[in-house]
């Protein structure tokens, strides 16, 4: 099933707004402590303090996960993840409450505000500029990503993969 893109000016059109650097007062690039403070102040997230914070495998990776089901059942948000790299927020993932919002309403609003997505397929719509990537994923998740950090991590992963592949080849050649 294809989705009709609302008739709006493209992302280069004068009516399209610049992509936001985050959701509400939580902005990409903030420190872990600053994000914790913003989450405490915004009850929509259902943040319960340090019990929502965990460390991920790898260097300097922290994850904050919130769940509104018990603490903020009135919220339009459901579960949210805030992922950090080197103590800076680089990804915000927001699962929205599907009992209160639908994909088309969110998609239409994003198109009206930011222009048509640069990429659209059945699984997600994507808006991007020089610093931010915004994905609207099915069934109903909104993801904000710091583009520079994402591309750096992607490039680092490719380097590691290439080194691993070379090591494997060297091992197999020695058999």
Q: What is the per-residue pLDDT for 101? A: 96
Q: Is the pLDDT of residue 42 over 80?
A: yes
Burial of 175 (0-12, 13-18, 19+ CB in 10 A): exposed
Percentage of the residues of the chain whose pLDDT score is greater than 90: 62
How many structural domains are present in the chain? 1
**Would residue 157 count as lying in a domain?**
yes
Domain containing 117: what range? 22-173
The Cα–Cα gap between 131 and 21 comes to: 8
pTM: 0.80
Asked if residue 29 belongs to a domain, the reply is yes
Q: Is 117 inside any structural domain?
A: yes
Mean of all residue pLDDT scores within the chain: 87
9 occurs within a structural domain: no
Asked if residues 115 and 54 have their Cβ atoms less than 8 Å apart, the reply is no
Is 15 a domain residue?
no
Residue 167 binned pLDDT confidence (cut-offs 50, 70, 90): confident
């Amino acid at each position: 099933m294809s989705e009709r893109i609302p008739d709006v000016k493209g992302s280069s059109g004068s009516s399209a707004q610049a992509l936001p650097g985050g959701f509400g007062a939580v902005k990409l690039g903030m420190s872990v402590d600053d994000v914790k403070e913003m989450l405490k102040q915004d009850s929509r997230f259902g943040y319960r303090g340090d019990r929502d914070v965990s460390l991920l495998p790898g260097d300097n990776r922290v994850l904050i996960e919130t769940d509104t089901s018990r603490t903020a059942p009135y919220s339009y948000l459901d579960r949210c993840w805030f992922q950090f790299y080197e103590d800076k927020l680089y990804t915000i993932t927001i699962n929205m409450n599907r009992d209160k919002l639908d994909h088309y309403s969110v998609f239409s609003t994003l198109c009206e505000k930011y222009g048509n997505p640069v990429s659209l397929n059945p699984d997600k719509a994507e808006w991007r500029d020089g610093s931010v990537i915004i994905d609207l994923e099915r069934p109903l998740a909104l993801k904000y990503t710091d583009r520079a950090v994402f591309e750096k991590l992607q490039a680092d992963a490719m380097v590691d993969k290439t080194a691993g592949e070379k090591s494997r080849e060297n091992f197999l050649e020695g058999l």
